[in-house]
Amino acid sequence: MTTRYLTEAILDGGIRSVNFFNGRLLSGEDLSQEQEANSEERKRLGQAIGDGIVSGLEVAKSTTTGNSGLPVVTIQPGLAINRLGQTLVLTKSVDVSLVSSNAGATTSTQSLFVTCTPPQSGPYIAGAGVYLLTIAPAIGSEGRTPVSGLGNVGAFCNTRYNIEGVQFHLLQVNIPQSELQDSDRLRNRLAYACFGTSDPLVQTFFQNPLGSSVQQGYGLLDTMRQGNSTGAACLSDTDVPLALLYWTVDAGIAFIDLWSVRRRITRPSADTRWPLFISDRRLSEAEAMFLQFEEHVQDIIAGGPNTLSTLAAMQHFAYLPPLGILPLQRTGSAPGFDPNAFFRTLASSNLEMTDGNLLRTLMHEAMYHEPINLADTSRANRVQLYTVWENVQAFTGLVTDQLVFVFASHTLPYRGVARFGYANFDISRFAPTVK
């Protein structure tokens, strides 16, 4: 390491831009260098802003099908920034067939081809598999432009425009067979594997916060970025994750889960020693936990609203976010969940009342709490349940036909509000159930 002095200019790694002045002879290389300098400056600004999805880029099953019934998804327009600071823009919705462009017409409908680094030939799996859909940069050219000084010889470099676009990659996620067999809870387990909830590095950190740090990464996505035992990394820094897909021969795309891997723009942390305490990444993951749960619940409701009142949480979930909102089953209400059936002994048997203006405070504080592990059935860890005063009043006044209830981790402060006729003034934690 070379010793430098104060006020000495350190130019190593600096951006080299062309010095323009009258009389200078310019070449194509000079102008290309200027373009590269501008591009590098934009990338560094993008890295400072953070990586993730700015807006849009939602993924859903397409209403059309590809050739021979191959799976197709529709991706909405949007904007993202990858880890290299490159902006990825999709200006209009597109249908994407989930096979490689070189798969050919003879591709079997019982397997998916995916793109990975290094490339692998042939199908990854026959029968079922979990896949990560990503967006990445692509570049192409358009048109031709006249040239001079080349002796009237045709030039191969005379393209008029270089166009920055995007492409989509599909990467197989290595999942133990035992996880695939637990299909009811697969979606939830995959999401919390991406959040790093049960990652040994995360658990070790809380056991000894002053011990080793987790700056090398945690969770399923970081594992895919770092590579496997052979050193092959499938998920590169040019890719921005969009969704997880579970595909089977019998059902095709069984589910598409966005928020298990989708993240808002996440600022890089100036400190790498305490990422689980102060980094923006952990906060964006907490927000994604809430959104992933609510999206999962909506899919469950769409699949069978008449069975919600008997559904138990552990049928579909191994983990829950520290706070969530669910439709409540009551006479005269739209279909919803029965809290006693859903949580059973995992939560307070009765519903407490809270105010809507306290709900946002509770939500924001929940972003700094760990998820609920449903395997922990001890009485001390019971989830607190609430109804919302404004929602109850709107239901009673026939303004809405949907009652809701809120569940909150036992680690969150109590936010119950005693109201005459709905909650007893002398009971602080467990009020009578709203009729």
d(CA 220, CA 189): 11
pLDDT score of 277 more than 70: yes
Structure tokens at 226: 């770092």
> 171, exposed or middle or buried, with CB in 10 Å at 0-12, 13-18, 19+?
buried
d(CA 326, CA 319): 15
Q: What is the mean pLDDT of residues 231-252?
A: 83
Distances (CA, A) of 115 to 80, 107, 110, 133: 20, 15, 17, 10
Q: Is the Cα dihedral 223, 229, 234, 238 positive or negative? A: positive
pLDDT band at 8 (very low <50, low <70, confident <90, very high): confident
pLDDT band at 283 (very low <50, low <70, confident <90, very high): very high
Q: What is the mean pLDDT of residues 15-40?
A: 86
Higher local confidence (pLDDT), 330 or 433? 330
pLDDT score of 427 more than 60: no
DSSP letter for 335, please.
S
pLDDT of amino acid 371: 94
Within 10 Å of residue 97's Cβ, how many Cβ atoms? 19
Higher local confidence (pLDDT), 137 or 1? 137
pLDDT band at 423 (very low <50, low <70, confident <90, very high): low
Q: How does the average pLDDT of the chain come out, rounded?
A: 82
DSSP letter for 217, please.
-
pLDDT score of 114 more than 50: no
Higher local confidence (pLDDT), 8 or 79? 79
Structure tokens at 414: 């109590």
pLDDT score of 51 more than 60: yes
Amino acid residing at 352: E
C-beta separation of 242 from 253 below 8 A: no
Task: Give per-residue pLDDT as tens, 178-211.
Answer: 777 788 899 999 999 999 888 888 878 888 888 7
pLDDT of amino acid 21: 84
Look-up of token digits 């059936």 = 341
Higher local confidence (pLDDT), 163 or 77? 77
pLDDT score of 165 more than 70: yes
Give the helix/strand (H/E) hosting 200. Answer: helix 200-207
pLDDT score of 369 more than 70: yes
Distances (CA, A) of 176 to 130, 179, 218, 233: 11, 5, 18, 18
Every domain of the chain and the residues it spans: 29-285, 304-408
pLDDT of amino acid 127: 57
Within 10 Å of residue 408's Cβ, how many Cβ atoms? 27
Distances (CA, A) of 187 to 59, 60, 179: 16, 16, 10
pLDDT band at 379 (very low <50, low <70, confident <90, very high): confident
pLDDT band at 261 (very low <50, low <70, confident <90, very high): very high
d(CA 414, CA 105): 60
pLDDT score of 118 more than 50: no
Higher local confidence (pLDDT), 158 or 263? 263
Q: Which of 251-265, 372-386, 410-424 has the highest mean pLDDT?
A: 251-265
Concatenate the DSSP letters of all residues of 260-305 into one string. Answer: TT--B-BPPPS-SS-HHHH-HHHHHHHHHHHHHHHHHHHHHHHH-G
Structure tokens at 155: 């030039």
Residue % of the chain over a pLDDT of 90 = 39
pLDDT band at 233 (very low <50, low <70, confident <90, very high): low
Distances (CA, A) of 272 to 47, 82, 140, 268, 277: 16, 20, 37, 9, 10
Task: Give per-residue pLDDT as tens, 302-339.
Answer: 887 778 888 999 999 999 999 999 999 888 888 889 99
Higher local confidence (pLDDT), 115 or 164? 164
The 3-state DSSP composition of the chain as helix, strand, coil percent (nearest 5) reads 30, 25, 45
d(CA 88, CA 84): 11
- Of 262, 260, 336, give the one whose Cα is nearest residue 305: 336
Structure tokens at 408: 């909150």
pLDDT of amino acid 124: 38
pTM over 0.75: yes
C-beta separation of 434 from 426 below 8 A: no
Higher local confidence (pLDDT), 371 or 8? 371
d(CA 25, CA 35): 17
Residue % of the chain over a pLDDT of 70 = 83
Burial 310-321 (b: 16+ CB within 10 A, else e): ebebbebbbbbb
> 290, exposed or middle or buried, with CB in 10 Å at 0-12, 13-18, 19+?
buried
Furthest-apart CA pair in the chain: how many Å? 97
pLDDT score of 14 more than 60: yes
Higher local confidence (pLDDT), 174 or 323? 323
d(CA 393, CA 388): 9
Omega cis (within 30) before 413: no
